[in-house]
Structure 1
Amino acid sequence: MDIRLSSGKGRWVILTTVLGSSMALLDSTVVNVALPHIGDDLHTDLGSLQWIVNAYTVTLAGLILLGGSLGDRYGRRNVFVLGVVWFALGSLLCGVAPSAPVLITARALQGIGGALLTPGSLAIIQASFHPDDRSRAVGLWSGFGGIGAAVGPFVGGWLVDGPGWRWVFLINLPLAALCVPVALRHVPESRDPEHHGRFDVLGAVLGAAALALVTYSLIGKVWWAGAAGVLAGVAFVLVEKRRPDPMLPLSIFSSRQFTTVNLVTLCVYAAFGGFFFLVTLQLQVVAGYSALQAGTALLPTTGLMLLFSARSGQLADKIGPRIPLTVGPLLCAVGMLLMLRIGEHASYLADVLPALLVQGAGMVALVAPLTATVLASVDTGKAGLASGVNNAAARAAGLIAVAALPLLAGMGPEAYRSAPKFDHAFHKAMPICAGVLVVGALLAFLTVRRAPAPALGAAPAPETECKVYCGVTGPPVEPAREVAAAVSDEGDTPPPAPPAQGRL
């Protein structure tokens, strides 16, 4: 397709993809704010709150690569629309859930919808727009996504304190009602003509089962489930190794740089996942913030990323990724240790804001170079797979952290109902998160190449991805493969995306 961005059809395509991706993005940023209210209303314990977060992530992380393949085969628009409808139905079930088990089940269904729509939103842009406009189109998509990430916690807190926590999920329904007809009328269909072979359903099921069983083991302290999860993981590796068309070709890990940077990703997003799960609870349970105040309190971190991630990416192009990937996690670790100042009646300006500013600076230094280095460590033709693997790794790391951190910190089932107990456990959890970040920094320092990788400066793909997703949920799953290929073939760098948007 050769749609121009300045055309009416081009604007409709941007609107559709932003609406679809915003549904998944809002859920990833607002649900944590609602957890104390959900727990009180449904009379549930901390373990169920963990599952309310993790049920979504299990299905999303386990099926996101399969979702991208389905779009390539059956049409990116078709699968995207199916994902939006599926996500909306899951959101409706979440909004009317009478009990925690029903809500957890609905969240898992939401994750399936997210795995269908998330790869499709950016893939539609890459397949639809004229090559000269792709970078700008992705920049616009990134910019609007960044705005959504910034206002998400605020909107979530307002909904929780106002009409109630159920509207955190029900707000997706009008977005879907607008997105679906616009997509069907204005978005062109596209497929990968070279996509063939069977789908690796067995690999997807084994991967999701491994994540679910390990999570169940950590949350419920059911050790046989952990053993079963490990066995499922081993079976997944064996299946992927032997299949002619695996969901995850293990050959991609032959790149030492790719493997080590994904290990850094695991450390970083494990810490982020545990932090964002616990800090909103700490602000509400211990510091006495309302849901709106807790959601608004976290805005400086996102604001820093919106303002300075582009410059961070440019700096990494010049000096190489090793220093940013070492310094960034260390700054985030310091920020998390400063979070220990958040206690009863904590002052926002004196106790909360300094920690968020330090952590935000670390995220600015880290997230753009992290994804860019992943993409630069493989051939251009494997960039889509590399980005998808990195996205799945980030989400799986957050999933395991949310399951394991309360156990490691000694949080009991009712800890979030007692300010002293939760505060005591929070003071154990933040040093654990900081320690994991230090491990990630050491890995980066010891294993990442000092010199800038050629692709970092040559291809615009890392510059035009939505880096807010990196910091909040996970890296994007469909880089600008066609643009990168054009740069590789012609030796020319296309016009960059607008600086304020390109590295969000």
Structure 2
Amino acid sequence: MMRSDRRATAALVLLCTAVFLDSMDLSLMGVALPAIGTDLALPDSTLQWLMSGYAVAYGGFLLLGGRLADLFGRRRMFLAALAVFAAASLAGGLLSDGWLLVATRVVKGIAAALTAPAALALITTTFAEGPRRNRALGVYALAGATGYSAGLIASGLLTQVNWRLVFFLPVPVALLVLAVAPRVIPAGRTDGPRTGFDAAGAGAVTGGVLLLVYALTETNWLAGGAAFLLLGGFVAIERRRRDPLVPLGVFRSGRLTSANLAALAWACATIGWQFVAVLYLQGVLGYSALATGLGIVPMGLAIVVTANLAGGLIGRWGLRRSAALGLLVQGAGILLFLRAGASGDYATVLLPALIVHGVGNGLSFPSLNIAAVGSLPDDRQGLASGLVTSAVQVGAGIGVAVLAAVMAIPASPLDGYRAAFLSAGAFSLLGAFTAYVGLRVRAEPRAPEPTRTAPTSTRA
């Protein structure tokens, strides 16, 4: 292997490690919350924000993170945000005040929102378009998709020792990435002059998304109305700006728009389903927190295997077929949970559903990411990655809120779980339809890259 190839591989490992940490932190708190509440005598309202504070900040600052990565340098933004992430993790493990703990989670969410778009943009500009980039994005998708499940397992193990270890876990990993990254991750460059920073647009979209995720989490209609007003104001601002945060013209790309809508539906389905499935395993089947995490391991393995094969499958079948098929298989895995009852057998009922879901998840997520970032040129990769990652985070909030509401409708708790599984499957089918119809639109012509000739793009 040539030295440049080894360096690119090392850079990919470090970037995906950071994204894995971002994703894992979404689920690390779940199992630890009861122990934190007992130890620090915190009410449920405070405990809830240890989870939602991170998610709200992550979803709200993603577009801003993508723009900052394009303006101020992707490697610089990646390293700075990861350092903040590590510092906030360390502080959280040392503090004992409830709202200070929440503050560290919010800071970590903001740091993750700045890290993820920069990391994805660095990957797409390090690997040439074609099979190498597809394989790299498959590894990236694998890191993000397995982080959530790994967080459940790690949280169960660490909480048995001490809940503070849940906060400390990301610190040594982040410090290792920070020590090695400057040697292997290319500095890159920003093409063209730096334009002015769209402060008004950034404030409107960030505030709008924050309020939208908050409204979905808390079922707060006033916040929801304010969110739509801010998002409408964002559109008006972007139409008048010469250097907008999000040039609205990018949405003329049918592929970009469809990939982001399908990614939103993907997250509604899989993150919403995972939320309900964990409650079902513990609340109905009586699984312990550790048993729940270990029970999800086969799904994680299925994601790992499929994501490793995704690059070759996409090259053979094309993005449209791969994304749509992956979402259909993912939906089938979710709907298989309808077979589960008050005493669902793991080996014959739950295990097949988990494996099928993992296979579909591991194929669809890389396909949607490749379609989204492949629709914009290299100097817009921060924007492209910010859009698709934001779609996933907002979709996660929508999915959890909708499925939680659906669960509360039937009189029987078991019927509530079944209704939620059916709704999650419907989200996945909607995503498959969106991908199959929308991704047949071919990407717009790409600007030639100055240092290499772009190979033939992945077929639709």
Report how far residue 139 of structure 1 moved.
7.5
Larger deviation, residues 391-400 vs 367-376: 367-376
Provide closer, same or farther for how the CA distance between residues 76 and 311 of structure 1 changes in structure 2, counting only shifts above 3 A. Answer: closer
Change (3 A) 1:82 1:39: same
Change (3 A) 1:385 1:346: same
Shift of 1:386: 2.7
Q: Which amino acid aligns with 2:80?
A: L
Aligned to 2:434: 443
Q: Give SS of 2:61's match.
A: helix
**Aligned-pair CA distance for 1:140:** 10
| Residue in 2 that maps onto 1:158 | 157
Q: Work out which of the residue numbers 295, 315, 320 in structure 1 matches 2:293.
A: 295
- Alpha-carbon distance in 2 for matches of 1:355, 1:40: 35
Counterparts of 2:394 and 2:229 in 1: how far apart (Å)? 17
Aligned mates of 1:437, 1:287 — CA distance in 2:
25
Alignment of 1:386-405 (within 5 A): 386-405=384-403
Distance in 1, Cα, partners of 2:398 & 2:456: 42
Cα distance in 2 for residues equivalent to 1:428 and 1:132:
41
Alignment of 1:354-393 (within 5 A): 354-378=352-376, 382-393=380-391
- What is the CA-CA distance between 1:159 and the residue it aligns to? 1.1
In the alignment, the residues of structure 2 paired with residue 395 and residue 32 of structure 1 have an alpha-carbon distance, to the nearest angstrom, of 17
Structure 1: distance between partners of 2:374 and 2:9: 31
Report what 2:452 is aligned to.
486
- Aligned equivalents of 1:285 and 1:483: distance in 2? 54
TM-score in terms of structure 1 length: 0.76
Q: Does the residue aligned with 2:312 lie in a helix, a strand or coil?
A: helix
Q: Deviations over 1:105-145 (max 9, x none)?
A: 32211111112222333555667799999869947974994
Contact 2:23–2:144 (8 Å) recurs in 1: no
Q: Residue by residue, what CA displacement relative to the aligned partner does 1:439-472 show, whole Å, maximum 9, x if unpaired?
A: 22333344442x8x579xx99xxxxxxxxxxxxx
Does the 8 Å contact 2:212/2:223 carry over to 1? yes
Q: Is structure 2 residue 181 aligned with structure 1 residue 215? A: no
Whether the 8 Å contact between 2:329 and 2:357 is mirrored in structure 1 is yes
Q: CA RMSD in A?
A: 4.1
Q: Distance in 2 between matches of 1:132 and 1:258?
A: 17
Does structure 1 retain, via aligned residues, the 8 Å contact 2:141–2:307?
Answer: no
User: Is 2:427 the partner of 1:428?
Assistant: no
Deviation at 1:213, TM superposition (A): 2.0
| Residues 1:225 and 2:223 aligned together | yes
2:250, 2:59 → 1: CA distance? 18
Counterpart CA distance in 1 for 2:271 and 2:229 is: 25
Seen in structure 2, the aligned counterparts of structure 1 residues 261 and 90 have a Cα distance that, compared at 3 Å, is same
TM-fit CA distance, 1:99: 5.9
Q: Please, which runs of 5 or more residues in structure 2 have no aligned partner?
A: none
In 2, are the aligned partners of 1:74 and 1:191 still within 8 Å (CA)?
no
The corresponding residue for 1:253 is 251
Alpha-carbon distance change, 322 to 291 in structure 1, aligned in 2, over 3 angstroms: same
Answer yes or no: is the 8 Å Cα contact 1:219–1:404 preserved in 2: no
Count of aligned residue pairs for this structure pair: 455
Mapped to 2, the partners of 1:89 and 1:63 lie a distance apart of 19
Conservation of the 8 A alpha-carbon contact between 1:33 and 1:281: no
Which residue among 55, 58, 67 is the counterpart of 1:57?
Answer: 55
| One-letter amino acid matched to 2:283 | V
**Contact persistence 1:207–1:232 (CA under 8 A):** yes
Secondary structure, counterpart of 2:174 in structure 1: helix
TM-score, with normalisation over the residues of structure 2?
0.82
AA at the equivalent of 1:304: A
The 8 Å contact of residues 374 and 390 in structure 1, kept in 2 or not, is answered as yes
Equivalent residue runs for 1:39-188 within 5 Å: 44-45=43-44, 51-96=49-94, 98=96, 101-124=99-122, 138=136, 142=140, 145=143, 149=147, 151-160=150-159, 162-183=160-181
- Distance apart, 1:183 and its partner CA: 4.2
Instruction: Tell me what 2:346 maps to.
Output: 348
